[in-house]
A and B are shown apart, each in its own frame.
Chain A
Amino acid sequence: MKRYLRISVFAILILALVVTFAIAGCKTGTATAKGTTAKTMKAADVTIGYSVWTMEFTFFQNLEKGVKDACKAFGFKYSMLDQKSDATQMVQDMNTLVNQKVSGIVSTPVDPGAMAPAVQKARDAGIPVVCADIGKSGPVNALIISNNFNGGQLAAEFLAKLYPDKSTTFGLGNLKPQWTYARQRGEGFKAKCDELGYTVKSEIIVQNPSAEGGYDTMQQIMSAASDIKGAFFTSGREAVGAANYIKSQNGEQKVVGYNGDPEEFNAIKDGILAATVLQQPYVIGYKAVETLKEILVDGKSYENVEIPAEVKLVTPENLEQVAKEIMDSTGNSAYGAPATTTTTK
């Protein structure tokens, strides 16, 4: 009888322990790593800190608008710091946001490879970090980035439609190897060309990321493969520079860009650039905060997740409509007037 009593008491104790842990588990949620806490917060208590590459360029202005609008929509407080295109400032900003005890950090890093220690510090402080575009390093929760591979495919499909003859060859002005994510644009372009039976005859890396750099690179591509019918440049300014080279030579080749900068829009309007693949920085910024909301408010867990943002092809046919959509969402008048600024990508 005593034996049964001992077994019963032991079983009750075990059960009590299990119930206690279960209740505790329910209370604290299913937290995994630091900074991915499932302990939820009220929206009114959430402050989002945003560290932006620079506010000098339209692309990042629109991205910041997306972050700000999302914070407003979700009822979060918002604080922004400008890295001013300086990697050391980027790390300092991240530390500042950790010191400010913000609830979550969105970062558009000027040098994604150099953010790992700062991200680790934020995560150690229990602050989730989401990167909005460019890239990531360290234990970030998520990276919201354009579907660059798909963007490259769209450019190839566009050129393929213009030139149904499969013997047509194309050129590619690509980014430097360090831009891991942005380089996927070129990979997508090559893969789609291959799939459709076209050849990328000349691929040259743009050494000087500017319109001048694009102009020079197009010249080199034409020297290497004068019979190409079109070229894809994986960044905006460079594409406009490349298209201007073709124009200066009275060439027939069609150039497709990538980014959707205001001057690309103007170049399409003027018939210099054939098309561009539009990134949606506003959507990227908005999605970054949405992801933080899911982590902080809804208790969802994210760990090193990549979330693609859709891209779309802009041609002379849909140019006006797309420009209107951008202006409606961002209020950025650069798309309705001659461009004065551009992005660095």
Chain B
Amino acid sequence: MDDIKVGLTPKQRAGNLLGSFGLIAILLIIFGFFSLLIPKLYFTWPNLRDMIRFSSYVGIGAIGMTFCIMTGNFDISVGSMLALAGVLGASVALKAGGIFGVIITMAAATLLGVINGLFVTKLKIPAFITTLGMYFIFRALAYIYTNNNPQYIQDRFWIFLGNGSFLGIPLPIYIMALCYVIAYLMLRKAPFGRYILAIGTNSRAAALSGINVDNIKILVFTLIGVFVGVSAVLNGSMLGAANPGMMGDGYEFQVITAVVLGGTALTGGSGSLGGTLIAAMVIVFLKTGMSNAQVNSYWQQVATGLVLIVAVSLNKLKFWLIGQTQ
């Protein structure tokens, strides 16, 4: 342990510190700033609780995307996937009850993820092209299936999942925490995590070292479906409806923003689930703070863009600091 400490230069230490706490610092600065600016509106437990609750919408969907980007791929169909799975589940819930609706939503999203994975691996169509195509197809299917009519969710169980609470903490927060624990164990304690990092670093080398790259990629796209399914269930519950046109609209950009803001390299090979989670919270904390402070919506977009650039710059700075001594 001492040897490691001796081996670190001040620059490396600064780099590591930045990597570990940079995003947390941004989150705390945002929270502190708005707490001082509008304490009665922002610095309250109900507000904090709801901000974390709404972070789950992007935060859970971003788990699968983090895995995907770690392998050097993208999935831009997640918003449409969320809508299609949501309307399918909601329509089933109307006839068979909320439990079946939730199961169908999860199963449908997972299946759509498998389809994406098969297209990318077996037909060798680049992930960007495949998921761009699916972005249109899934959304169109949602329209066709519902005849462009919203599917209302009135089942008490389903509504409870997104709006209920236990010990004063909303259920989506528990569900998000559980998802992150499972994902963390997969990434850090199971071979799967090593494989996706290896594929992201060098796919060919990973294949030569015996990793079944195609199977891992299919699994990654399937996991995107699983986590998008969870998000669809919670989002449908919070909205009380699944609207084929509006559900998940722009979701892909929010999710990819959270992953990139969280420090996952777009080129693949490195990333952090913790970073993704904090980034999802940064986005919601910032948006809520600016809305409460009555900031003009155009300036809100400017501020969100600036925070994204600052966070990614900090990540670059971290690598530069570490890289200087290597």
Contacts and interface: CB of A to CB of B under 8 A. Distances in A.
Q: Do A and B come from one complex?
A: yes
A91 B239 contact: yes
A263 interface: no
Contacts of A116: 152, 154, 240-241
A121 B240 CA distance: 12
Interface in A65-116: 79-82, 84, 86-89, 91-93, 95-96, 98-100, 110-111, 113-116
A87 B243 contact: yes
B243 A92 contact: no
A177 B147 contact: yes
A294 interface: no
A114 B150 CA distance: 9
Contacts of A93: 291
A86 B291 contact: no
B159 to A, nearest CB: 6
Given A55-B297, A84-B297, A114 B44 contact: no
B214 interface: no
B237 A117 contact: yes
A87 B291 contact: no
Contact of A82 (B159, B243, B250, B291): B291
Nearest to B54: A92
Contacts of A111: 150, 239, 241, 243, 246
A126 interface: no
Interface string B36-52: 00000100101100100
B58 to A, nearest CB: 9
Nearest to B151: A113
A54 interface: yes
B20 interface: no
A72 to B, nearest CB: 15
B163 A88 contact: no
B291 A99 contact: no
Contacts of B287: 89
A96 B284 CA distance: 12
A177 B250 CA distance: 23
Interface in B117-169: 147-150, 152, 154, 159, 162-163
A181 to B, nearest CB: 14
A87 B297 contact: no
B57 interface: yes
Contacts of B243: 87, 111, 113-114, 178
B240 A86 contact: no
Contacts of A178: 148-150, 243, 245
Contacts of A80: 294
A114 B240 contact: yes
Contacts of B148: 176-178
B120 to A, nearest CB: 28
Interface string B212-253: 000000000000000000000001011111010111011000
Given A99-B50, A113-B241, A114-B150, A88 B57 contact: yes
A5 to B, nearest CB: 55
A121 B292 contact: no
A96 B50 contact: yes
A93 B294 CA distance: 12
Nearest to B236: A114
B16 interface: no
A99 B43 CA distance: 11
B292 to A, nearest CB: 7
Contacts of A84: 297, 300
Interface string A20-63: 00000000000000000000000000000000001110000000
Contacts of A299: none
Contacts of A91: 238-239
A186 to B, nearest CB: 16
B257 interface: no
Contacts of A89: 287
Interface in B289-326: 291-292, 294, 296-297, 300
Contacts of A137: 152, 240-241
Contacts of B296: 55
B201 interface: no
Contact of B47 (A99, A113, A115, A118): A99
Contacts of A316: none
B35 interface: no
B288 interface: yes
Given A88-B54, A99-B50, A113-B150, 10 more contacts: A79-B294, A80-B294, A84-B297, A87-B247, A99-B44, A114-B243, A117-B162, A117-B237, A177-B147, A177-B148
28 contacts: A55-B296, A55-B297, A79-B294, A82-B291, A84-B300, A86-B249, A86-B250, A87-B239, A88-B238, A89-B287, A91-B239, A92-B288, A96-B291, A99-B46, A100-B41, A111-B150, A111-B241, A113-B152, A113-B240, A114-B150, A116-B240, A117-B159, A117-B238, A117-B240, A118-B240, A177-B147, A178-B148, A178-B149
Q: Which 5 A-B pairs have the closest CB atoms?
A: A114-B239, A99-B46, A113-B150, A116-B240, A117-B240
Interface of B: 41, 44, 46-47, 50, 54, 57, 147-150, 152, 154, 159, 162-163, 235, 237-241, 243, 245-247, 249-250, 284, 287-288, 291-292, 294, 296-297, 300
Interface of A: 54-56, 79-82, 84, 86-89, 91-93, 95-96, 98-100, 110-111, 113-118, 121, 137-138, 176-178
